[in-house]
């Protein structure tokens, strides 16, 4: 009879050597850099065209995200429908996403279909027309979507806390309003498109089981485009945080829950403390076994879930605690968050807890690097932030070596309630 | 082609093993053949609440999560109207930790009062977060009650009302456990960097001694064919009017399932679909519209949902949907359009199969359907679908007498 009270022996995950497979790199004739991770078990590929075309570069609200959205809604030779039908016919996914610094076109498809689809992506980069009709439909639908989202306390809280941290005029704090969509002008979109896409700065990340001629294909369809002649450094934006650190908003008088956001301005990946605070964050609220989740969900039952995480922008960061809690226990939840901060500053982290967090971080990292899209995703993050695999290996080594005393010092450096902004939206 | 081996322990536990040496990880997936459809109508939401309690300690192991995290693993679980599925992933070297944890909670739970008290509250917050405190959050509560009169699909997995969860007692928890959480009602899938012999030995060691339990024979009221159109109108504090229409469709194992699935994709699966192109882009009556179904094991609902453009009359919007449905009922669709949705399906399957965790979950699901190997024949079933099948299904399923329509109107 097996003795179930004794745990089977484990290999501590910290004993694993974690390797981040290096991508192949090459440059197209026009200087566009291509990264390639050839790996995987399924005959599929993912290609991302990353442009320096995020809202950092816009001079008017929502221009960057609208340009990005409408880029696949028609070229001079194909309607939006024809583009969508073409992509669907090949069983592909063509998405676009706008971030703060970058804006991305992403293609997922079966390896055998790649060659059919690349000419379309070229067309989107060179020949999108932004028709008045598409803009009208987009404007109307985005306004309706916004109206629905504004009924959700978590959506309202998410925008407001960013504005409190960075200011409503900073690219990290800005948000779209109805009147911004009304004010969208076709010529402004075309101008932004020409400057930041057609004549923009682009980097290509590719992964999966790529066809053997994939570099020749990239050169053929993208090597002659007028890209990367200007680095698009962009201007600097001043961070203007809100002076009042606490705010309560009533969004829905009948709401049964409140969205809580507690956040402070924080360091970026380039700061020497960054690899270390990743461990502190995990302990605090970074995973299901964290102190916040254990206390506030698993002991008190105030919420379905609570997490802490870093907002890792390129130029500035934030440390955020986020949850939706019962309306009557919002205050109690916030008090518990501060109590957990104090406990990290004043209490001792015992060895078992630290070992658990370390093994969890390394074990899940091992799983997170499993697959070509995951590997290229890591590299994209490093490269866009001006880092390389030294940063990755240093982070791994830090997780393995950091001690309880050092974490306590970091808690004393960063986890002071008075430095946090506090927002509740009911 | 997803290869696997299957064996059964003497207590009736089915075990499937899928080897993949390209990953350093292992996945352990335990599917229990119980979902919200197996609940007592006066105690709905219980299967899902129970899923939470499965993390509240088992008879010999006070905490499930901690030892797994210590072994570098992570886990999650979900409950549907049909089934409950638990899965964890960890470095393959520590596979035995998952066996230890999963087998102990199949043997018996700790049945802790504290865990029940806390998880009742957590699930109530989950209920509020997703179904009360969200615009349009009660739609499926309303629609299920409209569409189903006999079958237990008439309530949602989260439960009919908060009070059912608040009133759950420890005795209910115990009865539910010993009725459903037994080897004969479970399927174990182990995948990743593992060996069949190793899994066989570990299965015998950890699961072999668990009493088999009694096979749960499901005796649900099947839904009688709907004879007349049903309609409902509600007014809510939402910014836009919306319309939801459902029609009863076949069960997951039925021959027509794959054709019905492709029909929903033709109608409302994405930006090149008929409803989207016609009603959002050309006529601009809706700001978004989609057509989908849940793939439920018993007879399900083919659904169209759309949000209206402000100012559009709902009668006009609904008539425009019907006009599109007339087209699929009256005309045979051309080869390219059918080929398009087949190609999409092929691609979705290839992307899904990239992760070992998905492969393990799919194997468990197909084994529950009847045979894990059906996973490998699924795409062929889609390929065999003809245009005439889609037209026939459109004609038989998309009938007014088989339909349920919910007008969800803004009172602003």
* Of B294, B343, B282, B70, nearest in space to A12 by CA: B70
Sheet bearing B301-308, strands edge to edge: B230-236, B403-410, B242-248, B301-308, B286-292
pLDDT exceeding 70 applies to what percent of chain B?
100
pLDDT at B328: 97
Q: Are residues B49 and B197 in the same domain?
A: yes
Residue of B nearest to A426 (CA): B133
The Cα B139–Cα B244 span in angstroms is: 8
> Out of A55-59, A75-79, B6-10, B170-174, which region has the weakest mean confidence (pLDDT)?
B170-174
**Which tokens sit at A425?**
């939206």
Q: Tell me, yes or no, whether B294 lies in a domain.
A: yes
Mean local confidence (pLDDT), A99-125? 97
The residue to which tokens 């009493």 are assigned = B211
A246-425 placed in CATH 3.30.830.10: yes
What is the total count of domains within chain B?
2
Q: How far is B26 from chain A (nearest CA, A)?
A: 9
| Interface contact A363-B237, CB threshold 8 A | no
The residue to which tokens 């229990």 are assigned = B32
* Structure confidence by residue, pLDDT tens digits, A337-394: 999 999 999 999 999 999 999 999 999 999 889 889 999 999 999 999 999 999 999 9
* Structure confidence by residue, pLDDT tens digits, B184-220: 999 999 999 999 999 999 999 999 999 999 999 999 9
Residue of A nearest to B354 (CA): A42
Q: Quick check: A5 contacting B, CB < 8 Å?
A: yes
pLDDT at A38: 95
Q: Are residues B90 and B143 in the same domain?
A: yes
Strand duo B403-410 + B242-248: pairing? antiparallel
The Cα B5–Cα B358 span in angstroms is: 17
pLDDT of A41 over the 90 cut: no
The Cα B357–Cα B86 span in angstroms is: 11
* Structure confidence by residue, pLDDT tens digits, A315-325: 999 999 999 99
CATH 3.30.830.10 domain residues, chain A: 24-222, 246-425
pLDDT at A16: 92
Collapsing DSSP to helix, strand or coil, A403 comes out as coil
Q: Are residues B264 and B403 in the same domain?
A: yes
Contacts of B256 (CB under 8 A, 6+ apart): B250, B389, B393
Q: Are residues B384 and B329 in the same domain?
A: yes
Q: Tell me, yes or no, whether B383 lies in a domain.
A: yes
Mean local confidence (pLDDT), B319-337? 96
Q: Tell me, yes or no, whether B219 lies in a domain.
A: no
Q: Are B210 and B59 in contact (CB under 8 A)?
A: no
The residue to which tokens 């969890």 are assigned = A360
* Structure confidence by residue, pLDDT tens digits, B364-398: 999 999 999 999 999 999 999 999 999 999 999 99
Mean local confidence (pLDDT), B300-318? 97
Residue B315: phi, psi to the nearest 5?
Answer: -60, -40
* Of A295, A298, A276, nearest in space to A341 by CA: A295
The Cα A226–Cα B238 span in angstroms is: 47
Q: Are B136 and B62 in contact (CB under 8 A)?
A: no
pLDDT at B243: 98
Q: Tell me, yes or no, whether B221 lies in a domain.
A: no
DSSP state of B105: H
Residue of A nearest to B52 (CA): A298
DSSP state of A401: H
DSSP B245-292: EEEE---TTSTTHHHHHHHHHHHHSSTTSHHIIIIIIIS--EEEEEEE
Q: Tell me, yes or no, whether B225 lies in a domain.
A: no
Q: Are residues B184 and B150 in the same domain?
A: yes
Q: Tell me, yes or no, whether B133 lies in a domain.
A: yes
Q: What is the mean pLDDT of chain A?
A: 96
CB count within 10 Å of CB B364 equals 27
Q: Are residues B188 and B288 in the same domain?
A: no
pLDDT at A370: 84
* Surface of A (191-220) touching B: CB under 8 A: none
Mean local confidence (pLDDT), B37-46? 94
Mean local confidence (pLDDT), B102-109? 96
Q: Are residues B154 and B33 in the same domain?
A: yes
pLDDT at B53: 94
pLDDT at A335: 98
pLDDT at B178: 94
The Cα A52–Cα A384 span in angstroms is: 10
* Structure confidence by residue, pLDDT tens digits, B216-253: 999 999 999 999 999 999 999 999 999 999 999 999 99
Q: Provide the pLDDT confidence category of residue A234 given band limits of 50, 70 and 90.
A: confident
pLDDT of B412 over the 80 cut: no
* Surface of A (253-312) touching B: CB under 8 A: 254-257, 287-289, 297-304
DSSP A154-198: HHHHHHHHHHHHH-TTSTTT----HHHHHT--HHHHHHHHIIIII
pLDDT at B332: 94
DSSP state of A335: H
pLDDT at A224: 97
Q: Are residues B192 and B105 in the same domain?
A: yes
pLDDT at A247: 97
| Interface contact A44-B350, CB threshold 8 A | yes
Dihedral (Cα; A283, A287, A291, A295), 10-degree rounding: 180
| Interface contact B206-A252, CB threshold 8 A | no
Q: Are A386 and A130 in contact (CB under 8 A)?
A: no
pLDDT at A332: 97
Mean local confidence (pLDDT), B335-343? 97
| Interface contact A42-B347, CB threshold 8 A | no
* Structure confidence by residue, pLDDT tens digits, A256-266: 999 999 999 99
Collapsing DSSP to helix, strand or coil, B215 comes out as coil
Q: Are residues B59 and B118 in the same domain?
A: yes
Identity of the residue in A10, A357, A366 whose CB atom sits nearest the CB atom of B24: A366
| Interface contact B281-A148, CB threshold 8 A | no
Residue of A nearest to B76 (CA): A288
Specify which residues A317 forms β-bridges with.
A266, A312
> Out of A38-42, A323-327, A399-403, which region has the weakest mean confidence (pLDDT)?
A38-42
pLDDT at B160: 94
**Interface test mutation site (partner A, options B103, B129, B201, max chain A beta carbons within 10 A):** B129
Q: Are B83 and B31 in contact (CB under 8 A)?
A: yes
Tell me the CATH number at B350. Answer: 3.30.830.10
What CATH class is the domain A24-222?
Answer: alpha beta
pLDDT at A233: 85
| Interface contact A325-B125, CB threshold 8 A | yes
pLDDT at A68: 98
Q: Are A272 and A236 in contact (CB under 8 A)?
A: no
Q: Provide the pLDDT confidence category of residue B48 given band limits of 50, 70 and 90.
A: very high
The Cα A269–Cα A267 span in angstroms is: 7
The Cα B177–Cα B58 span in angstroms is: 12
Q: Are residues B257 and B299 in the same domain?
A: yes
The Cα A169–Cα B235 span in angstroms is: 38
Specify which residues B131 forms β-bridges with.
none
Task: Using alpha carbons, list the distances in angstroms from residue A167 to A84, A239, A242, A312, B261.
Answer: 38, 6, 6, 17, 47
DSSP A234-259: ---------S--EEEE-S-TT-SEEE
Q: Tell me, yes or no, whether B223 lies in a domain.
A: no
Identity of the residue in A89, A326, A357 whose CB atom sits nearest the CB atom of B125: A326
SS3 string, B131-165, reads HHCCCCCCHHHHHHHHHCCCCHHHCCCCCCCHHHH
**Structural domain span for residue B51:** 5-207
Q: Are residues B197 and B236 in the same domain?
A: no
The Cα B1–Cα B66 span in angstroms is: 36
Identity of the residue in B20, B135, B339 whose CB atom sits nearest the CB atom of A148: B135
Assembly ipTM: 0.94
pLDDT of A292 over the 90 cut: yes
């Amino acid at each position: 009879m097996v003795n179930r009270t004794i745990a089977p022996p484990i290999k501590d995950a910290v004993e694993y050597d974690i390797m981040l497979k290096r991508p192949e790199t090459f440059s197209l004739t026009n200087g566009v850099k291509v990264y390639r991770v050839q790996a995987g078990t399924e005959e599929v590929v993912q290609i991302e065209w990353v442009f320096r075309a995020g809202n950092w570069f816009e001079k008017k609200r929502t221009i960057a995200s609208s340009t990005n959205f409408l880029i696949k809604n028609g070229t001079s030779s194909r309607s939006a429908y024809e583009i969508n039908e073409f992509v669907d016919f090949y069983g592909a996914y063509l998405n676009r996403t706008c971030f703060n610094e970058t804006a991305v076109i992403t293609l997922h498809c079966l390896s055998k279909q790649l060659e059919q689809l690349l000419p379309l992506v070229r067309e989107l980069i060179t020949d999108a027309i932004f028709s008045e009709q598409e803009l009208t439909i987009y404007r109307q639908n985005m306004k309706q979507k916004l109206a629905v989202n504004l009924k959700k306390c978590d959506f309202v809280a998410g925008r407001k806390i960013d504005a409190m941290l960075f200011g409503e005029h900073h690219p990290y704090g800005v948000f779209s309003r109805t009147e911004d969509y009304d004010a969208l002008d076709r010529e402004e979109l075309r101008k932004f498109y020409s400057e930041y896409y057609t004549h923009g700065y682009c980097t290509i990340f590719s992964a999966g089981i790529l066809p053997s001629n994939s570099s020749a294909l990239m050169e053929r369809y993208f090597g002659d485009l007028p890209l990367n002649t200007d680095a698009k450094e962009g201007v600097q934006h001043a961070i203007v945080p809100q002076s009042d650190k606490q705010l309560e908003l009533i969004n829905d008088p009948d709401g049964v829950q409140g969205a809580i956001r507690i956040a402070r301005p924080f360091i970026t990946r380039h700061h020497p403390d960054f690899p270390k605070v990743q461990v502190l964050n995990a302990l605090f609220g970074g995973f299901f076994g964290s102190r916040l989740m254990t206390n506030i969900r698993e002991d008190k039952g105030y919420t379905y879930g609570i997490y802490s995480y870093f907002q890792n922008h390129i130029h500035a960061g934030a440390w955020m605690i986020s949850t939706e809690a019962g309306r009557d226990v919002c205050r109690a939840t916030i008090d518990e968050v501060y109590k957990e901060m104090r406990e990290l500053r004043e209490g001792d982290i015992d060895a078992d807890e630290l070992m658990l967090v370390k093994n969890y971080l390394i074990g899940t990292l091992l799983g997170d690097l499993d697959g070509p899209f995951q590997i290229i995703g890591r590299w994209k993050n490093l490269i866009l932030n001006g880092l390389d695999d030294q940063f990755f290996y240093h982070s791994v080594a830090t997780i393995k070596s950091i001690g309880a005393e050092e974490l306590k010092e970091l808690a004393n450096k960063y986890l002071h309630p008075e430095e946090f902004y506090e927002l509740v939206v009911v | 082609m997803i290869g696997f081996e299957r064996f059964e322990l003497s207590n009736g536990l089915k075990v499937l093993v899928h080897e993949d040496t390209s990953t350093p990880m292992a996945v352990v997936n335990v599917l229990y053949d119980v979902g919200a459809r197996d609940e007592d109508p006066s105690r709905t939401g219980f299967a899902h609440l129970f899923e939470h309690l499965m993390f509240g300690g088992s008879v010999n192991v006070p905490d499930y999560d901690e030892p797994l995290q210590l072994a570098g693993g992570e886990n999650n679980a979900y409950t549907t109207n049909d089934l409950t599925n638990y899965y964890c992933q960890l470095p393959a070297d520590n596979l035995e930790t998952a066996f230890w944890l999963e087998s102990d909670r199949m043997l018996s739970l700790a049945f802790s009062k504290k865990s029940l008290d806390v998880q009742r509250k957590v699930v109530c917050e989950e209920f509020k977060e997703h179904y009360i405190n969200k615009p349009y959050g009660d739609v499926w509560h309303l629609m299920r009650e409209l569409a189903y009169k006999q079958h237990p699909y008439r309530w949602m997995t989260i439960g009919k009302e908060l009070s059912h969860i608040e009133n759950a007692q420890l005795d209910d928890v115990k009865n539910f456990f010993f009725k459903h959480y037994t080897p004969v009602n479970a399927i174990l899938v182990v995948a990743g960097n593992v060996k069949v012999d190793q899994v066989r030995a570990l299965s015998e060691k950890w699961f072999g001694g668990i009493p088999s339990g009694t096979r749960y024979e499901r005796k649900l009221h099947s839904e009688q064919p709907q004879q007349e159109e049903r309609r409902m109108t509600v007014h809510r504090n939402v910014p836009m009017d919306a319309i939801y229409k459902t029609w009863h469709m076949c069960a997951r194992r039925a021959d027509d399932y794959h054709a019905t699935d492709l029909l929903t994709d033709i109608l409302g699966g994405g930006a090149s679909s008929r409803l989207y192109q016609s009603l959002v882009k050309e006529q601009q009556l809706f700001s978004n519209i989609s057509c989908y179904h849940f793939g439920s094991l018993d007879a399900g609902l083919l659904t169209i949902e759309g949000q209206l453009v402000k100012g559009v009359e709902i009668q006009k919007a609904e008539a425009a949907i019907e006009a599109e449905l007339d087209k699929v009922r009256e005309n045979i669709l051309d080869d390219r359009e059918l080929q398009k949705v087949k190609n999409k399906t092929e691609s979705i399957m290839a992307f899904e199969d990239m992760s070992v965790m998905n492969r393990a979950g799919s194997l468990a699901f197909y084994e529950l359907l009847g045979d894990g190997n059906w996973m490998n024949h699924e795409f062929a079933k889609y390929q065999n679908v003809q245009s005439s099948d889609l037209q026939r299904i459109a004609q038989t399923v998309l009938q007014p007498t088989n339909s349920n329509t919910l007008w969800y109107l803004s009172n602003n």
